Structure 1
Amino acid sequence: MPTARAARRATLRLGAVALAGALLAACGSGSTGTSADKDGKVTITVDLFGTFGYKEAGLYDEYEKLHPGVTIKQSSTENEADYWKALQTRLAGGGGLADVQGIEVGRIASVTQQQADKFEDLGPLGAKDLQDDFSAAKWAAATTADGRTLGLGTDVGPEAICYRTDLFQQAGLPTDRAELAQKWATWDGYLELGRQYKAKAGAKSAWLDSVGSLYSVIVGQEKERYYDASGKLVYDDNAAVKAAWDLSVKAAQDGLSAKLAQWTPAWNQAFSSGSFATIGCPAWMLGYIKGQAGDAGKGKWDIAPLPGGAAGNWGGSYLAVPKGSAHAKEAFALVKWLTAAEQQAKLFKKQGSFPSNIGAIESVKDVTDPYFSDAPIGRIFGAAAEASPVQVLGVHDGDVNQQITNALGEVERKGTDSATAWSHARKGVENAVG
């Protein structure tokens, strides 16, 4: 094992994951977590995926002002699948881990059931006093069978549809969010409106970004998707999964998709280029859209409730402290502060990440977002969060979803028929689950 000083100097990078800043390696059990850097100051490293929004909302700067001597360095990977793969490599090797690691909700069962020994129990650090701040379901998902708390919830992912009002106007479609909610009260209605859009917009712009994105939103409306309550893998026999698959295939066959794989550079660029008019929009997507479309997109986007007659949830993450952090105590203090009601409320107002902290939910109910045409995001996502199902999460939820959306990508980009693509999805799941 390298010395602590040498480890602090080492800058590690694995795979193709791009760093936003230096990721400082550390070794040790992390059970005390009170060591400081050689100058008496503490650098807390944070490794995330997507756009959590802490830096964009100024929360790191605020925390550093409140805690002189603390510096926060964040690295981030756009694609969660790439992030998770790299994290597994680091957990297996014991090096290169950040003091704080983000965990997507589709991976949390894997952490609590298979990797609990690799993360700090946050209870003794102070989390045991925070349980009442979160919903029972959010808390339970990050708790092991023997009561260890391995993460604190950052947000939840209530869903809506984000759409480009300027593109709708050009295609002669209504732009009023209430009228649209009526027209796409069902998913069939949503696709029918898409066919009308395609007839007017032609090849210039597609109705939606990708059918993988569409599928993820639809299946997010279901309580039971890939596993049942006993932990049995049931995706292949689940009628709800099959219905979501069939509707997504239909959208591809009707030519409604821009055929853009999510988290790719082409997908990112399309937010500002007008390559698609609608996207399934969990609350956290608002911050991502702002980051990709930039100032030029302000006022061109709006938000309407989800089709399908039911609310849904896609995403929602946790912050965890891996064993091996040289600053476990300080890392937990940061996690506690970032997930507190006041900070979650600020993050929603700035980035759209809907709070998982109960105390923040009431305070954001009247929030509107000028970027999204003053949409009442507090009411839209608040209603969706209240009606969303408490989803059954399995050890390989994220892997199953990824294999299915990969197969849907074959349908829209290669013209693979539905049955063949589904067989590829099944094979991919078999390989991923083992």
Structure 2
Amino acid sequence: MRTTSKRTKRSPLRSRPVTYGLAAVLGAGLLAGCAEDSGGSDSGDGKTTVSVGVFGVFGYKQAGLYDEYEKLHPDIRIKENSTERNEDYYPALLNHLSARSGLSDIQAVEVDNINEIAGLHADRLVDMAKVEGVRKSDWLDWKWNQAKAEGGQVVGLGTDIGPMGVCYRKDLFKKAGLPTDREAVGKLWAGDWEKYVETGEKYMKSAPKGTAFTDGAAGLYNGAVSSYPVKYYNADGKLVYKKSKGVRESWDLAMRAIKGKMTGRLKQFDKEWDQAYANGDFASVVCPPWMLGYIKEKAGDKGAGKWDVAAAPKPANWGGSFLTVPKGGKHEKEAVELAKWLTAPKQQAKLFEKQASFPSSQAAYALPEVKDAKHPYFGKAPIGKIFSKAAKGIPTIPLGPKDQVIKTTISDIGILQVEQQGKKPEDGWNAAVKKIDDVVED
């Protein structure tokens, strides 16, 4: 998963959202055991070692997929090189692609970075669309297109995605006079993120003491803006976030939520956010599938039987990654076969069952591991059906090279200055714009 703009803390087993605290390990995980340095060399026992470079916990090892592949291919040994955070992993990956050295046989790329990779280094990555046995129809169209370069090459195969739902506390909704049945809850805001805010306003009129409707304004903003067909860049690759309807309307909703005091003023993945789950301090949170395990861990036994999942107001995506294969690696052929196998529908379904990584392969949605999936902690919510439906409706949003920077700056500087520091909305927006202008070329 895969938030990594917010993905280093996915679930207890899969922690891949970015937490934006730089560790002094730039390239350490990427270089350790790289294909051209040590990890890609043959093992000495007649087996070929294929190295896989990832950030955080992708779950392949934990779900037993590496072991399964090695049993199917006795001549292959898989070595995973994992860097904890994407903000350390990704700059190193860019450096090694530029230098054409120090690369693992397979390199993972986060969704907010895939456009830049395709723009800068498509010629240095295998065109996966031309690999025998790879079927475009297995993937959701919008996911497949995210990895397509200007010249038509598909630089990576999609792994997971993050279709959004809304996780909510049934006990708090009931005390506030709101429905608790997931179908009825979904109807409260169906089709419009503004209705979600309106529901928050109703909640706050009878809110249980000390609780907020939602965790923070950034989560609301992220959910809303990701449901629009244009976000930060247009289809021509032009930076348009200052005039984007999706950005402006989502920002305004976030400001309305702050003004209405319906947020817990929490920054996601901070310790205070974790503690708020344990304390039951807020009633709802915008949640992709990978967040369910995280909520279960942080809310703990005290939250058992209280949480449920409803459909989000509109289909939107948060998170996801790709597997790429650098050209010219010592084991390029073996790497292509492994990447193809790991992202095939059957393996994606197994990864969802074991690690809550929701498939980007639409062919996986008909498999029982996905179709029949229910989550006991969330009232046996039919999460396979809820998130599959959302995934199919997610718009194809043009990506740009600095999506991650823009999204994070708006959330962590613009919104938080208003929400936590009490600044005026226009001052928060201007602070975010200034920071973005300093680091992003128009």
Q: TM-score, normalised by structure 2?
A: 0.81
Residue 117 of structure 2 is matched in structure 1 by: 111
Q: Which residue identity does 1:376 align to in structure 2? A: P
Query: Quick check: 1:415 aligned with 2:422?
Result: yes
Distance 2:332 2:177 in 1: 56
2:34·2:103 contact (CA, 8 Å) conserved in 1? yes
Residue 232 of structure 1 is matched in structure 2 by: 238
Query: Quick check: 1:315 aligned with 2:322?
Result: no
Give matches, 1:72-111, under 5 Å.
72-77=79-84, 80-91=86-97, 97-111=103-117
Secondary structure at the counterpart of residue 154 of structure 1: strand
1:152·1:319 contact (CA, 8 Å) conserved in 2? yes
Query: Quick check: 1:426 aligned with 2:430?
Result: no
Which segment drifts farther, 383-392 or 47-56?
47-56
Secondary structure at the counterpart of residue 148 of structure 1: coil
2:115·2:401 contact (CA, 8 Å) conserved in 1? yes
Q: CA deviation at 1:273?
A: 4.4
Q: Residue 252 of structure 1: which of 249, 258, 268 is its match?
A: 258
Which segment drifts farther, 274-283 or 52-61?
52-61
Secondary structure at the counterpart of residue 202 of structure 1: coil
Which segment drifts farther, 313-322 or 412-421?
313-322
Q: Which residue identity does 1:421 align to in structure 2? A: G
Calculate percent identity across the aligned residue pairs.
44
Distance 2:293 2:276 in 1: 15
Distance 1:282 1:37 in 2: 39
Count of residue pairs the alignment pairs up: 414
Query: Quick check: 1:350 aligned with 2:354?
Result: yes
Query: Quick check: 1:70 aligned with 2:100?
Result: no
Residue 378 of structure 2 is matched in structure 1 by: 372
Q: Residue 24 of structure 1: which of 23, 27, 32 is its match?
A: 32
Over the aligned positions, Cα root-mean-square deviation in angstroms equals 3.4
Distance 1:97 1:171, change over 3 A: farther
2:36·2:101 contact (CA, 8 Å) conserved in 1? no
Distance 1:267 1:280 in 2: 13
Which segment drifts farther, 155-164 or 284-293?
284-293
2:174·2:180 contact (CA, 8 Å) conserved in 1? yes
**Unmatched 5+ stretches in structure 2:** 1-21
What per-residue deviation string (whole Å, max 9, x for no partner) do you get for residues 209-257 of structure 1?
2221211110111011111111111111122210100111222233332
Residue 18 of structure 2 is matched in structure 1 by: none
Q: Residue 305 of structure 1: which of 308, 311, 317 is its match?
A: 311
Distance 1:380 1:327, change over 3 A: same
Distance 1:291 1:334 in 2: 32
Q: CA deviation at 1:360?
A: 0.9
Give matches, 1:128-139, under 5 Å.
129-139=134-144
Q: CA deviation at 1:383?
A: 1.8
Distance 2:132 2:355 in 1: 25
Q: Which residue identity does 2:139 align to in structure 1? A: F
Distance 1:282 1:243, change over 3 A: same
Distance 1:431 1:291 in 2: 38
Which segment drifts farther, 175-184 or 348-357?
348-357
Distance 1:258 1:48, change over 3 A: farther
Q: Which residue identity does 1:73 align to in structure 2? A: E
Secondary structure at the counterpart of residue 237 of structure 1: coil
Distance 1:268 1:102 in 2: 28
Q: Which residue identity does 1:413 align to in structure 2? A: Q
Query: Quick check: 1:178 aligned with 2:186?
Result: no
Q: Which residue identity does 1:26 align to in structure 2? A: C
Residue 399 of structure 2 is matched in structure 1 by: 393
Distance 1:297 1:248, change over 3 A: same
Which segment drifts farther, 317-326 or 356-365?
317-326
Q: CA deviation at 1:277?
A: 2.8
Residue 337 of structure 2 is matched in structure 1 by: 333
Query: Quick check: 1:37 aligned with 2:37?
Result: no
2:118·2:149 contact (CA, 8 Å) conserved in 1? yes
Residue 360 of structure 1 is matched in structure 2 by: 364
Distance 2:329 2:272 in 1: 36
Distance 1:181 1:332, change over 3 A: same
Distance 1:29 1:127, change over 3 A: farther
